[in-house]
A and B are shown apart, each in its own frame.
Chain A
């Protein structure tokens, strides 16, 4: 089935409207709903999740640890083979959710922050469901809360509790948070960032590079509101900055072209930085259904992985 046209509301038969999600209940329930939706949608897909699990054999050479010889293979083949593991254990994913004031903006009933919560929770459900560990942190100008990675469903409850407690604060500094997180995480794993990135772009890019330098796989969900993406307002408007940037009075129709140019430039800059740093970049419009965003991303990722 082809994807619905961009900007249009998808059919409720396949996708859940983000506004409907907010009425479902707790996050774990929402996550389950979303993930079930994805599974239905991906039943013919070759994707197996975001696991980095890989297994291979090679012949024993001098210097290899004797204990790493696979004796069963030796018994069958009479040759020494060493069993190689990409990871010794399940991978660890850390999700970082921007809970600053700017994330509370909502033009269509659901804020960017709420959307990020649904998206993060759904992703966490998927990860835990396949036996990996997931942790989560919320931040604004600093890391506000952190749930350590776990691989059981309990973690979903903890994450839900933390997210629901999130109290939006102004002044996002995603770059510094990424730096801090890169320093704190000793074990390589996945870092999934949910933010509108309405911040200092250069700092953020540096933070990304830092994470990558530390060997983390980074996925960035760049969450924006449809009004921010299309700027469809008409008439005379007074804009009040959510993070104390002051006020602006203008006629959106007159500056729309330029705004959209600026937005495009902003997104391009981030996208380019992500490409360079081999970070998965996902632009999210909060008008799109969560499962659609997730499934598209997972599909895209699996295709890329296959190609590698």
Chain B
């Protein structure tokens, strides 16, 4: 015989409960009064006749009271018996809700955690009887109900489990617990059980949210909860956590660098093997990752050249480990056929030597590094500021303003729309720029409020760059330069700028004055150089960094693919520019399966809803006249953290909620059976307790009523009898 509840605590309480009537009885005896008595012989005769009877009556009532409390205490202990003695109680239906963790971490292992979870579910189902109400649910990003309050049929349930699959989504524990609570509430059986079979990832279970705790508490009011943590053979896992364009030209015939980060999520140091980089389906290179400490991240990069424009998938693939889903990562390179730049020059007084040339001169040359064939690479169109109103901005991808004094408000409005539509704007300042005018007219475009001019005294050395601490791709360009080269870029003069809340300072001087700032405006970006584009304020235009910065800036500002990188299981409205609302598009998933969708309107932009479940590259095609759009879908990195709580840690986490975590199958089945038997015994004991209580009340009344027989019917006597009756009933 065992007890499901704490024997020490509850048996102590039960003993206390049993002691209560005895203590009351003893106290009652202690409080007796004493008198001398003459008619002892009469009293003795009365007692000779009655004392035995009274003692017996007392004993019966006291014993029944003690039994009532004893049975109640035992019921609270929830005793279990290993014999079949409880079979006489008859079988009772048990309502079961089984939630199986189907997040992608469950795919870990050669014999995956998910398969083990299904095996545990089968074992649990073996304890069910035909017809018992059963709900089955897969838990990941959202609940997936496989069976809902269906009478248990072994063949049906096993078939459903056979076909169940883990997802590529992370686990949303709170949402799933909420749904489990609903399923438990639907059960109408006297005894309900709720099972959660999970790999008990630390990320989900180490710190339960208050909402999750509340959900557990709600469920535990209606059902016995068993959390079944799986016994994980290994927790080692390497994952590619990031793959992204790093630098270089994303243009036809351009070369760009892509970087991948590999992380060791395991508990031990390990060899991450090698990583392969693919452009499209073509293997570009294979690199060795080497040994990684637990928690260590290593960045590896490769160069890819593009021979045709359009979106192209980039893939990094790690040597297979125990969780393969996060061994591949995808990115999209949006290669443009060429970038059309409009260079707007505010200073037309250019000289013939380098020192006298204006900013546009250097900018144009920095952007036109290579002699490209017409229509390819960066094409720069150079105009004077006063001619800007004559240009059709829609033909350009990027506008560069150099030392432009001011623009008409109408022109400023056109520029704003140009940037908001996803195009780029680079602004250089200079001696023609009036800070007040810029602050007033370019307020919606500039990433900072301009102040006065700051200048290095002639006796001092011009300012150098401060060490880079930004993650912006332009900052990374500067950071990759050798220190000796980096320090030669100097600044004599600039306009002080106070960054706005929506902007980012990419580069600044060693005196902490911002040099390069960025701001997003609509779908486009604006870059602000607080110094000049010519050599009057800085030697940067003749520094190698200048061309690198402008080239990178041109690429960054014209090839934003962030909207084309999705996390699996996160539904998004994907912008599909130039498509007609209501037109048909076709989405091809990574396995090649096509799905027809209609273009919808979201805000002012045509879009289509994508809820990507598979990891890989999705292709959106909408007829010949539109270019193909590609989307990279990657898993949520949280699920790569495959380390789990062991059963004892999970138990200590769940214990305050009164929930048991049992890992071992045998122990689990025993606990389930004990729980059911215990419940039956508890019910029986509660019935016995109630019966004993009622019986003692009836007997107490009967015995008291008997006392009244033959007694004087005067008022005082009746009152005394009533008092005795009341005392007995109490």
Chain A residues engaging chain B, CB cutoff 8 angstroms = 7, 101-103, 105, 112, 196, 198, 224-225, 228, 230, 232-243, 245-246, 248-251, 253-263, 266
What is the bound-complex CA distance between A212 and B714, given in angstroms? 39
**A198, B54: Cβ atoms under 8 Å?**
no
Beta-carbon contact of A237 and B54 below 8 Å? no
CB pair A240–B34 under 8 Å, yes or no, is: yes
**Which residues 15-51 in B have Cβ within 8 Å of A in the complex?**
28-29, 31-47, 49-51
Among B388-396, B505-513, B518-526, B718-726, the stretch that binds chain A is B718-726
* A237 partner, pick from B34, B39, B41, B42, beta carbons under 8 A: B34
What CA separation (Å) do A257 and B51 show in the bound complex? Answer: 13
At the interface, yes or no: B711 with Cβ under 8 Å from chain A?
Answer: yes
Query: Are the C-beta atoms of B717 and A232 separated by less than 8 Å?
Result: yes
The smallest C-beta distance from A258 to any residue of chain B, in angstroms, reads 4
Task: Flag whether B375 is at the interface (Cβ < 8 A).
Answer: no
Complex Cα spacing A79 to B38, Å? 64
Contact: B50 with A255, CB < 8 Å?
yes
Q: 8 new A-B pairs (CB below 8 Å) besides A7-B714, A103-B38, A242-B37?
A: A224-B39, A238-B32, A241-B36, A248-B43, A248-B44, A253-B721, A254-B50, A262-B45
Instruction: Enumerate 28 A-B pairs (CB-CB under 8 Å) in ascending A order.
Output: A102-B38, A102-B39, A198-B38, A198-B39, A198-B42, A224-B39, A228-B38, A232-B720, A235-B33, A238-B33, A238-B35, A239-B34, A239-B37, A240-B35, A240-B37, A242-B36, A242-B37, A243-B38, A243-B40, A246-B40, A249-B29, A255-B46, A255-B47, A256-B711, A258-B50, A260-B711, A262-B42, A263-B42
Cβ–Cβ contact B38 & A105, under 8 A: yes
Q: Which of B32, B38, B708 contacts A236 (CB 8 A)?
A: B32
Whether A260 lies near B723 (C-beta < 8 A) is no
Query: In the complex, A126 Cα to B8 Cα: how many Å?
Result: 81
Q: Please report the C-alpha to C-alpha distance between residue A103 and residue B38 in the assembled complex, in whole angstroms.
A: 8
Chain B: interface residue total (CB-CB under 8 A): 36
* Interfacial chain B residues near A238, Cβ < 8 Å: 32-35
Q: Within the complex, which residue of A224, A232, A259 is in contact with B716, where a contact is CB–CB below 8 Å?
A: A232
Q: Is B88 an interface residue (CB 8 A)?
A: no
Q: CA A137 – CA B35 in complex, angstroms?
A: 29
Residues of chain A lying within 8 A (CB to CB) of residue B33 = 235-238
In angstroms, Cα B723 to Cα A145, docked, is 47
A260–B43 alpha-carbon span in the complex (Å): 9
Closest beta carbon of chain A to B430's beta carbon, Å: 110
Name which residue of chain B comes closest to A201, CB basis. B41
Closest Cβ–Cβ distance, residue B587 to chain A (whole Å): 91
| Contact indicator B710/A196 (Cβ below 8 Å) | no
**B724 in contact with A262 (CB, 8 Å):** no
- What B residues does A239 contact at CB under 8 A? 34-37, 40, 43
Residues of B contacting A266 in the complex (Cβ-Cβ under 8 angstroms):
42
Contact B40 A234 (CB under 8 A): no
* B680-714 interface code vs A (CB 8 A; 1 in, 0 out): 00000000000000000000000000011111101
How far, in Å, is A173 (CB) from chain B's closest CB? 14
Collect the chain A residues with CB atoms within 8 Å of residue B40's CB.
198, 239, 241-243, 245-246, 248
- A237→B31 CA distance, assembly (Å): 9
A41 to chain B, nearest CB (A): 27
The CA of A212 and the CA of B29, in the complex, are separated in Å by 50
Does the CB pair A230–B39 fall under 8 Å?
no
In the bound complex, do residue B36 and residue A259 qualify as a contact, i.e. CB atoms below 8 Å apart? no
Contacts of B46 in A (CB 8 A): 255, 258-259, 261-262
Taking the closest CB of chain A, its distance from the CB of B251, in whole angstroms, is: 107
A225 to B721, CA, bound (A): 21
- Docked-complex contact B42 and A259, CB < 8 angstroms: yes
Residues of B within 8 A of A255 (CB): 43, 46-47, 50-51, 54
CB distance from A67 to the nearest CB of B (A): 56
Question: Are the C-beta atoms of A236 and B31 separated by less than 8 Å?
Answer: yes
Which residues of the partner chain B approach A262 to less than 8 Å between Cβ atoms?
Answer: 42, 45-46
- Distance from A230 Cβ to chain B, minimum over Cβ atoms (Å): 7
- CA distance in complex: A249, B28 (Å): 12
- With A239-B43, A263-B42, A266-B42 as known contacts, state yes or no: A234 contacts B37, CB within 8 Å: no
Question: Which residues on A sit within 8 Å (CB–CB) of B708?
Answer: 257
Please give the distance in Å from A99's CB to the nearest CB on chain B: 13
Pair A257/B42 contact, Cβ less than 8 Å = no
Residue ID in chain A nearest B711 by CB atoms: A257
Min Cβ gap B302→A in Å is: 98
Residue from B34, B35, B43, B724 within 8 A of A253 (CB atoms): B724
Instruction: Return the chain A residue nearest B720 by Cβ.
Output: A234
Taking CB atoms, residues of chain A closer than 8 Å to B723 are: 234, 253
Interchain residue pairs A-B with the least CB separation, the first 5? A236-B32, A102-B38, A245-B40, A239-B37, A253-B724
CB-CB < 8 A to A198: which residues of B? 38-42
Give the residues in chain A near B724, CB-CB below 8 Å.
Answer: 234, 251, 253-254
- Alpha-carbon separation in the docked complex, A228 to B28 (Å): 24
A-side contacts of B709, CB under 8 Å: 257
Q: Which B residues are in CB contact (< 8 Å) with A228?
A: 38-39, 42
1/0 per residue, CB under 8 A from A, across B135-154: the answer is 00000000000000000000
Q: How far is the CA of A253 from the CA of B720 in the complex (A)?
A: 8
Considering the chains assembled together, what is the distance between the CA atoms of A250 and B46 in angstroms?
11
Bound CA–CA A228/B33 (angstroms): 17
Q: In the docked arrangement, what's the CA distance between A228 and B40, Å?
A: 10
**Contact pick for B47, options A225, A236, A240, A248, CB 8 Å:** A248
CA distance A174 to B46 in the complex (A): 23
Distance A257 CA – B46 CA, assembled complex (angstroms): 8
Question: With A and B bound together, what is the CA distance between A236 and B24 in angstroms?
Answer: 13
CA distance A261 to B43 in the complex (A): 11
A241 and B32 contact, CB distance less than 8 A = no
| Complex CA distance for A40 and B712, rounded to whole angstroms | 34
Tell whether, in the assembled complex, residue B32 and residue A261 are in contact, meaning their CB atoms are under 8 Å apart. no
Which partner residue on chain A sits nearest B54 by CB separation? A254
B34 contacts across to A, CB distance below 8 A:
237-240
A281 to B376, CA, bound (A): 147
- A242 CA to B49 CA, complexed, in Å: 22
Interface centre among A102, A103, A248, A256 (most CB of B within 10 A): A256
Q: Measured between C-beta atoms, what is the minimum distance from B57 to chain A in Å?
A: 8
Chain B residues within 8 Å of A260, by CB: 710-712
Q: In the assembly, what is the distance between CA of A280 and CA of B707, in Å?
A: 35
Asked if residues A249 and B32 are in contact (CB atoms below 8 Å), the reply is yes
Question: Which partner residue on chain A sits nearest B714 by CB separation?
Answer: A7
**B49 partner residues in chain A, CB cutoff 8 A:** 258
Docked Cα-Cα span, A54 to B498, in Å, equals 147
Q: Which residues of A contact B43 (CB under 8 A)?
A: 239, 248, 250, 255, 259
* B73-91 at interface with A (beta carbon < 8 Å): none
Assembled-state Cα–Cα distance A161/B712 (Å): 41
Q: Which of B623-676 contact A (CB under 8 A)?
A: none
Q: How far is the CA of A5 from the CA of B714 in the complex (A)?
A: 12
In the complex formed, the residue of B with least CB distance to A235 is B33
Residue pair A257, B45 in contact (C-beta under 8 Å): no
- Per the bound structure, the CA–CA distance linking A256 and B708 in Å amounts to 9
Given contacts A248-B44, A262-B46, contact A105 B37 (CB under 8 A): yes
Contacting pair B28 A236 (CB below 8 A): yes
* Chain B, range 358-379, C-beta contacts under 8 Å to A: none
Q: Which residues of A contact B41 (CB under 8 A)?
A: 198, 245
Q: Closest B-chain residue to A257, C-beta based?
A: B710
A266 to B43, CA, bound (A): 12
CA distance A278 to B702 in the complex (A): 45
Chain A residues within an 8 Å CB radius of B54: 250-251, 254-255
Cα–Cα, bound, A235→B27 (Å): 12
Q: Do B38 and A242 touch across chains, with their CB atoms under 8 A apart?
A: yes
Query: Most chain-A Cβ atoms within 10 A of its Cβ — which of B43, B711, B714?
Result: B43
Contacts of A256 in B (CB 8 A): 707, 711
Residue of A7, A230, A258, A263 most packed against chain B (CB within 10 A): A258
A246–B44 alpha-carbon span in the complex (Å) = 10
B712 partner, pick from A230, A251, A254, A258, beta carbons under 8 A: A230
Which of B155-195 touch A at CB < 8 Å?
Answer: none
| Cβ–Cβ contact A253 & B31, under 8 A | no
A238–B31 CA distance with the chains assembled, in angstroms: 10
Write out the residue numbers on chain B whose beta carbons fall within 8 Å of the beta carbon of A248: 37, 40, 43-44, 47
